Structures are given as C-alpha cells and as structure tokens.
Amino acid sequence: AEQLHEDSELKPRDDGYWPAYIVKAGGMTRMAVTLQVDVTDSSGGKESDLAALEAAWIRVHYFAYGPHGRTPQAQHVVLPLQFPAPPAPDQLAWRRVEGADIEVAALPTHLLCHMDDPISIVQKYALPYASPGDIIAFGESPLALMQGRFRHPAMVKPGIIARLACLCFHPTSSLATACGMQALVDVVGAWRVASAVLLGIIGRIIRQRGVFYRVAGDQAALIDDVTGTLPPYDQFICLGPARSKETCDKVKEATGIDMAVVDVNDLTVRTGAVRILGASDGVDPTVLRKALRTNPAGNADEQTPLVLIRRLTAPSDDLLS
C-alpha cells in the first residue's frame, strides 16, 4: 500500500513506515493498495476456483485522532472481479410493456462500485443499443453505491433517538433497526427525525399516512438497511443517491441520451408507484412510469441497474394521458 496525500510534501519511505498525517476539516486522503488473491494448500481449493470470484470485499482498519479522542475506524471497499461482456445487439431481450407502445430492456453490468461513474457505465452498457428518443432508467441504489453512500452497521453508533424511533416502524422496514434509523439521523439530524416521529404518531391518530416521510425528507424513503441490496452490499446500509438531477444532465450532455434516476421495486408491481428522483429535461414522466410499472430490472440479484426504454410510436394524447 502507498499513501497518496495530495496536499502534503511527505514522500513514501523506503522502509514502509507511514508518517502521521493531519487531514484538514472537510478534507480527505487516499492510498493505493495492491490486492493479490492466492489459493493456499490449507484452503483445499484450486487455482481455477479464483475465476468464480465475483467481487473482493476489503476492510481497512485505522485510528482517527482528534477532539473525540483516539477512536478505531474502518473503511470498507467493494471491488468487482468479473466484467462480463455486454450482449450483442441482436441478443438484447426487449419486452413489450402491456397496454402501451413501449419496449424495455434490462441491461446487465458488472458489480458497480465507487470507482465507476455514471457516464462511463452508460457509454459501455447502454449506448451501443440506444436510439434517438430512448430513455435510460438508472436505479437509485446502484447510483448511491457508486457515490460511496453506504455504511457498515459496525461503524454506525445508534443514539437514544434512533433506538426509540425505530420501534415505531414495521419490523421489515429499513428504519426498524437502530442502525438503519441512525443512518437517517446522521444525514438529516436528530431533531428532524424526532419531530418527524412525533408528527407521524399524531398523523396516525388522525389517519393521515406518510407524515413521517414528508417531514423527515426524501432520504427517509430511500435508505436500504442490511439485506436491502445485492451481495456483498447486502451487509451494508445504503443511503439514497445525491445530486440525481445533476447526474442525469451530465449523462445527457455526454451521451445525448435522456436519463432518469428512479426508485422502483417489487411494490411497484402492486401499487404502480415509480419514484423519480431526478431526470434530464427530455424525459416524459408518464412514459417513464408506464415503462417501469412492472419493475423490469427486477428486485433480486439480477445485476441490471439500467433499463433502456423505447417508445415505439410518436407521442400521442392517448399515451400521455
């Protein structure tokens, strides 16, 4: 491993010792790590078994030193090891949306990580199949993972508000655990969560649903707790993405394809609810919702974060009604 302090004159030492380094408030630092995976005799495996590995999960332990004292920390990194080739254009599985002149195709990718960026992913996995007027639907969780917006529960320290607030939710909710709720507290603040819980309870009494989520903000509905995403991210708490609209605009500028960041899951099939977090200006939300109401990307480990949407006919009053 090698230190990469961008604003420091410290040079790597020949003996491998890492001098202490001060990270300024709001700043960051990096390091370069070389990962070598071997099959040892004691494991009983074969070298060919390495080809089956899909990803590497790396955990780096370190100590943070400051006003809080000297505290142990850990940084988790997930790296893909498999990079499947995109299917040939004639092998892409298009599906007709029932009741609409729209076709959709779920696009497989490698396991996305913090080293990927939306523009390169769209260029590699969607652009070869796209035609003028198509729309790309980008899943919100994959985008958040690319932005590094995930946390391991071991590094989340639930406070009293999170421990009490999580008791108000259904056991299968992503906010029904102290760590899941604390992740929200860390994003929007303790007082906002406390206020949202109090007003949510009042809302239940007067039969007004969804008050908590309206007060707590968008992130409250976007957090996925442990088991909420595909492996190995299923061991982490995943936040909602940031700068969704900005991301869509940048992809449109770089590729010429309209894009939307969406929150779609199996509940969408039953309720028809498609949450649009951001979209470039050329995206028609009605077309988008009709195309995604059957959740074509799936909700398991399909690894298809992109859905290409194609309108088969020109816009009409019937389609947009």
pLDDT in tens, 209-251: 899 999 999 999 999 999 988 899 999 999 999 999 999 999 9
Q: How many domains does the chain have?
A: 3
Residue 66 shares a structural domain with residue 95: no
| pLDDT tens per residue, range 58-87 | 998 888 888 889 988 888 999 998 898 888
CA distance 296 to 318: 23
Q: Which of 222, 255, 272 is the C-terminal boundary of a domain?
A: 222
Angle at 117 between CA 126 and CA 299, to 5 degrees: 60
Q: Which of 21, 46, 80 is the C-terminal boundary of a domain?
A: 80
- Domain residues for the domain of 45 are 2-80
Cβ atoms of residues 305 and 142 within 8 Å = yes
Residue 66 shares a structural domain with residue 185: no
Q: Please enumerate in sequence order all residues whose Cβ is within 8 A of that of 321, keeping only pairs 6 or more positions apart, or say none.
A: 286
Residue 64 shares a structural domain with residue 178: no
Cβ atoms of residues 144 and 115 within 8 Å = no
Residue 74 shares a structural domain with residue 27: yes
CA distance 144 to 232: 15
Residue 59 shares a structural domain with residue 75: yes
Residue 251 lies in a domain: yes
Residue 208 lies in a domain: yes
More confident residue, 297 or 49: 297
Residue 133 shares a structural domain with residue 175: no
Single pTM value for the model: 0.86
What's the pLDDT score for residue 321? 42
Residue 320 lies in a domain: no
Residue 232 lies in a domain: no
